[in-house]
Amino acid sequence: MDAAAPTPAFAPDSPEFAANPYPAYADLRARGRAHWYEPTRQWLIPHHADVSALLRDRRLGRTYLHRFTHEEFGRTPPPPEHEPFHTLNDHGLLDLEAPDHTRIRRLVSKAFTPRTVEGLRGYVDELAARLVGQLVADGGGDLISAVAEPLPVAVIAQMLGIPEGDRAPLRPWSAEICGMYELNPSEETARRAVTASLEFSAYLRELIAERRKEPGDDLISALIAAHDEGDRLSEQEMISTCVLLLNAGHEATVNTTGNAWRALFDHPAQLAALRADPATLLSTAVEELLRYDTPLHLFERWVLEDIEIDGVRIPRGSEVALLFGSANHDPAVFDRPDDLDLTRADNPHVSLGAGIHYCLGAPLARVELAASFGELLRQAPGLRLAAEPVRKEGFVIRGFDALQVEC
């Protein structure tokens, strides 16, 4: 960087920052390990060692409601009109802590097993081949809407047993709910998330009732049947888990695919090497592409007991923002972190999390990414960017709305 250029600032609302947050992350890392950020009243944590340790530290939690009321924790309860969103969100695995998290993760893991994922491999491969085949037949198009999005949406919907005719609203519901995960969501975002939460929950309540009457060979039926020492998922836990699986099950995969192909187009020598030998390179390439431009840049945790980072006391009641994108570019852990190196073998990226909330869908995500990348390499050897990609708003879930390619 030019020595006279201003230091890039951490500015989550700015499109320039979202377009390339990495210089600002480097600046944060150089200046310290914990930074108070007044606009969101959070502590920003940019180093890999701290992000990785705090994800595993039981003095922090995705929620505090298992130990404190809002008032005891010094927080204002959300307005009652946001209740449908919080009811849905707060009963999902991701927003629970022990003992509820342990109980529900155990039950969900009984239904979402490595065998379930292995059993889907044929479906995923065939779907990836079909979607890429269509893109090639069309001579190109939008990689996001043609491949990146329909693949994981269909896979998780198939897994849960959502009938094909019902799938159209899944992506809009999910996108409106995920709007709440950006920093400081607006009232309009909250209103849309509430409407989507109500519609999505009502749809699933009906589907679950149908599966109770007539179980099928799908994850919803398996979740209904899952029990552990007499324990079962409640109706709300089941609805929240299905929504979480549907949202988590595609949102990050869509954005990983878009970010990855943008990165490959920006590094033609790496793309050529991958095309020349996908059998050797594809598995390290998937990990490197997950690291290089991760779709999920910030995860929050509540501080349940005082902690100290680098001599800075972070008291109970605070919120920390773990900067995954920064951790993944920390030179203390990654050699030449800003280089894309598809052969990188030692790659302890945090893109899939760590600790008790480590991504439950990681094996499925890897199967999906390998399938779509593999097909794009095989069927579209001349794939190239046709226009500057259109970036999504926001940086917490960072990706593209559209990525026009030519075959």
Binding-residue pattern over the window 185 to 224 for ligand HEM, x denoting contact by CB under 6 A: ----------------------------------------
Q: What token pair was written down for 347?
A: 């790659």
Q: Which lies closer to ligand HEM via its Cβ, residue 82 or residue 357?
A: 357
- Asked if 48 interacts with ligand HEM (CB under 6 A), we say no
Q: State the Cα–Cα distance between residues 259 and 148, nearest whole angstrom.
A: 10
Write the CA distances from 172 to 153, 246, 250, 285, integer angstroms: 11, 12, 12, 30
Q: What is the number of other CB atoms lying within 10 angstroms of the CB of residue 278?
A: 16
What minimum distance in Å lies between the beta carbon of 51 and ligand HEM? Answer: 10
Contacts with 345 (C-beta within 8 Å, 6 or more apart), sequence order: 284
For ligand HEM, the binding residues in 296-325 under the rule CB under 6 A are 296, 299
Minimum CB separation of residue 244 from ligand HEM in Å reads 5
Q: Establish if 351 lies at the interface with ligand HEM (CB under 6 A).
A: yes
Show the binding pattern over residues 242-271: x = contacts ligand HEM (CB under 6 A), - = does not.
--xx--xx--xx--x---------------
- The conformation of residue 393, written as its DSSP 8-state character, comes to S
Q: Report whether the peptide linkage leading into residue 99 is cis, meaning its omega lies within 30 degrees of zero.
A: yes
CB 345 within 8 A of CB 284: yes
What is the C-alpha radius of gyration for the chain, rounded to an integer number of angstroms? 21
Amino acid identity for residue 61 in this structure: G
For strands 42-45 and 319-323, give the pairing: parallel
Positions in 368-397 near ligand HEM (CB under 6 A): none
Task: Kindly state the smallest distance separating residue 344's Cβ from ligand HEM, in Å.
Answer: 17
Nearer to ligand HEM by C-beta: 136 or 396?
396
64 binds ligand HEM (CB under 6 A): no
Which of 26, 28, 94, 120 lies at the binding interface for ligand HEM (CB under 6 A)? 94
Q: Are strands 140-142 and 404-406 parallel, antiparallel or unpaired?
A: antiparallel
Tell which one of 51, 156, 321, 383 touches ligand HEM (CB under 6 A).
156
Binding site for ligand HEM (CB under 6 A): 55, 62, 93-94, 105, 156, 244-245, 248-249, 252-253, 256, 295-296, 299, 351-353, 357, 359-361, 364-365
